[in-house]
Structure formats: structure tokens, C-alpha cells
Amino acid sequence: MSLVCAICNEVPEHPCVSPVSNQVFERRLIEKYIAENGTDPMNGQPLSEEQLVDIKFSHPIRPKAPSATSIPAILKSLQDEWDAVMLHSFTLRRRVLESVFSLRVNILYQLQDKATILTTERKKRGKTVPEDLVRAEDLGKYHQVASHVGLHSASVPGILALDLCPSDTSKVLTGGADKNVVVFDKNEEQIVATFKGHTKKVTSVIYHPSQSVVFSASPDSTIRVWSVTGGNCVQVVRAHEAGVTGLSLHATGDYLLSSSEDQYWAFSDIQTGRVLTKVTDESAGCALTCAQFHPDGLIFGTGTADSQIKIWDLKERTNVANFPGHSGPVTSIAFSENGYYLATGAQDSSLKLWDLRKLKNFKTITLDNNYEVKSLVFDQSGTYLAVGGSDIRVYICKQWSEVLNFTDHTGLVTGVAFGDNARFLSSAGMDRSLKFYSL
């Protein structure tokens, strides 16, 4: 009697039988199938390697198939096998593409719907200035009211990133050169949580507007998601092969935009840590230095090490506009809340303002010689623009005139942020201090 493997239809070298289907198999083939599927290939029932029963018999000479007795027949057999492999490969690729396309379509519909709502709300808000917004003449009277230096380690001094919770600006988030992420309560004047996990300094932080979750990025090439209430890291997003240089949260609160020295920007799901898309400008071949979503969430900007500002369409994943003009690496970019303006800073001691409707630079503010711009942020109403770097400066939009200047930090200012309705201004710097300014 000739034993034939049920998988390859050939005489097996090491035959075994499955007690589940009573079929004979080549042991190496059935073991590989079990490792991948855990079932019998004939009837789909659960099957393990331990259940296989070896068959002992004297190894016969393998008979040649009648079709393999001539060269044309052999060539036809090889062609048939090649066609079968290509068909199987095509089927697998199609299934993968269908899955990815379906996922992308669902996400894009979600983003489009959110963008429509945000645009409508933004236009309504843009018609009036919030009644509780601090007036420019009062803002000009601000002075330092508090300074905290105990948030991060003194052995590796420096706070490199700052953010406030949009829904409760008394909650402050910082990232330090000591590799730690710290949540600080402004009202209680105490540390709420300290997160450890990064293997290099923390250069970007974001506070989620509606969840008790914060995000951090580092040159260690990871993005971490932390639970403030749980006090632990709940997700590590590995979107890049080099240091992460920029981080921005989408308006839905579900997705992160990141930029990196590996020349790619990535769009990731914060719940699963899955990288949904990752794109580079192959023609540029230059590291990205920062990234920021437009308020509507369908476009975003990136800065590069070769002084370019690029605007991208998220849906199409394409570069739709470029803003040249800076010299030196771009250090920070910020969109105004009304979505009309983009502020950019670079290592050329200048601040540039761009009109996104006309795609042109309409204002350049020349700063002091060797002035370093490290942080740019508009307040929630889009009325004021704060600049952090060699010092702190606040400009009133439209007139673009300076309304205040602070030189309280003894080191470079790395982050600035407005409180609700600009009732206070916060800053962090390389002198390890977190400062607050108000009336």
C-alpha cells in the first residue's frame, strides 16, 4: 500500500497520522500547519503535535508521476505551480488591501465629519471675542506670581516641554531632561504624578482635553501614553526609527500626529498604538523638526531641518503647500484658533506669519540677534500669540504688536502656554523652573 500525504499528495518521508481526521501527512508539513493554525487541515478540528501518531514503514523509492517523464510535461508542471503561487499571493494581497482600505475609509469619514463640525463652530466663535478674555491693556500688566523648581531632577536640569489641559488649565504637564513626565496642579501647587519610562529626555508633551491621559515623545524614538489616574504607561507607540521631534493631538482626541528625525510623519491610533499611516517627502530627504495639526484636523504642518514649512493633506497624504523663507532649522509652528494664520519660528532669529487663505507670508518679526525661538502658541481665542525662547514675548494678533515681555528665566525658555481666557501665562525653561504670570 502506498501512503500519500493529504497536503502535498506525495509519498511522505516521515509519515504520521492525525487521529482527528485519520489522514496521513508528511510530519514537517503538518507540524508547520499546526503551528500556524492549531487545527487539522482536513476538517478544521483542533489538533496538536502531541496527538500525531508516527507510522513506521520501510521507505520506498518515490515513484515518479507520469506527467514528469518529459521536459514539456515538467515545464508545464512548473508553470502550473507558479500560477498557483501567484494566484494565492494575489488573493492574500487583495484581502489585506481591502482590510486597510475599509479601515481608512471609516477613519476618513470620521475625520471629515469632525472637521465639518469644527469649521462651523470655529466660524461662529470667530465673529466675536470671548467676553471673559483678558484685555490687552490688562495683559500688559502681568508679572510673575509663582515659580516652581522642584518638578524635575536637579542633576539633569531642564524642562524641555510644557502643555496645559485645555478643559482645565490648572493642570500642567511638563517633560524634562531627566527623562520624566510630570503632572502638576497649579491651584494646589503640588505634583500630581511623575511618570518614568523614557530612556532619553522628554521633548514633547500633550494633555488630553477630555480624558485623564497624557502623551510624551522622546529622542528614544517612542511615544508613550500615560494614565494620570492609574499612574502608569498604558500604551507605547513605536512609529519611528529615530528620535521623535514633534507631537500633535487630532481634534477627535483619538489620533496622534508625530514627526521624526527619520524624515517621516506618522498618524497613529492612541487606543491601540497602531500606526495607521506613515509618509515621507522622498524629494526632500531631510529630518522633520516639528509637527502641528490645523484646528480642523484635515491638514497639518511640519517643519524641517533645512528651513522648510510643509502643509500636508491628511486624507490624501500629500504635500499640498510649501512655505520657504526661513534660514536654519524650523523650531516651532502654531496654527491660530480661527485657522487662518500660521506662525513659524526658526534658528534665524525671526518669527514669520503666514496667511493660509492666500498661502503667503504677510508679516515677518525680526527678533534680537541670536534670539532662539523654542515655543509658539496662540491663546484659545486666537487673539494673542506667545513666543518662548531667549525670553518670553506676547503679541496681539492682527496688529502684531508686542504687549509684554518677560525675562525672569535664567535659562532658555522651552515652553509657553496660556490659561483659560488668557487669565494667566505659564512658562518652563532650562533653568528647571515652571513659572506663572498674571495680574
Give tens-digit pLDDT for 290-342.
Answer: 999 998 888 999 999 999 999 999 888 899 999 999 999 999 999 998 888 99
Which superfamily is assigned to 1-59 in CATH?
Answer: Zinc/RING finger domain, C3HC4 (zinc finger) (3.30.40.10)
Mean pLDDT within 9-30: 90
Residue 111 has phi, psi (to 5 degrees) of -65, -40
Residue 137 has phi, psi (to 5 degrees) of -65, -30
Burial 88-124 (b: 16+ CB within 10 A, else e): eeeeeeeeeeeeeeeeeeebeeebeebbeebeeebee
User: Is residue 221 a contact partner of residue 241, using CB atoms and an 8 Å limit?
Assistant: yes
133, containing H or E segment: none
* CA separation for the pair 115, 296 (Å, rounded): 5
**Taking the domains of the chain in order of start, what are their residue ranges?**
1-59, 136-438
* CA separation for the pair 131, 128 (Å, rounded): 8
Q: What is the CATH number of domain 136-438?
A: 2.130.10.10
> Which residues lie closer than 8 Å to 437 by C-beta, 6 or more apart?
142, 143, 144, 145, 406, 424, 425, 426, 427
* CA separation for the pair 385, 419 (Å, rounded): 13
Mean pLDDT within 269-291: 91
| pLDDT at 75 (0 to 100) | 80
| pLDDT at 317 (0 to 100) | 87
Count other C-beta atoms under 10 Å from residue 393's C-beta.
23
Give tens-digit pLDDT for 260-269.
Answer: 999 999 999 9
* CA separation for the pair 357, 359 (Å, rounded): 6
Q: Is the pLDDT of residue 100 over 50?
A: no
Give tens-digit pLDDT for 65-83.
Answer: 555 667 787 787 788 788 7
Could you tell me if residue 263 is left (phi over 0), alpha (psi between -120 and 50 degrees) or otherwise beta?
Answer: left
290, containing H or E segment: strand 288-293
| pLDDT at 102 (0 to 100) | 46
360: amino acid identity, one letter: K
Query: Torsion over CA of 342, 347, 351 and 352, rounded to 10 degrees?
Result: -50
Specify the range with the lowest mean pLDDT, choosing from 96-110, 221-235, 371-385, 414-428. Answer: 96-110
| pLDDT at 258 (0 to 100) | 98
For the chain, give the percent of residues with pLDDT over 70.
90
C-alpha cell at 144: 510673575
Closest CA to 216 of 155, 152, 283: 152
Q: Indicate the pLDDT class of residue 145, thresholds 50, 70 and 90.
A: very high
Q: Is the pLDDT of residue 218 over 90?
A: yes
User: Is residue 171 a contact partner of residue 188, using CB atoms and an 8 Å limit?
Assistant: no
Residues facing residue 373 across a β-bridge: 389
How far the first Cα of the chain sits from its last, in Å, is 98
Average per-residue pLDDT in the chain? Answer: 89
User: Is residue 164 a contact partner of residue 419, using CB atoms and an 8 Å limit?
Assistant: yes
| pLDDT at 66 (0 to 100) | 59
| pLDDT at 79 (0 to 100) | 81
| pLDDT at 73 (0 to 100) | 76
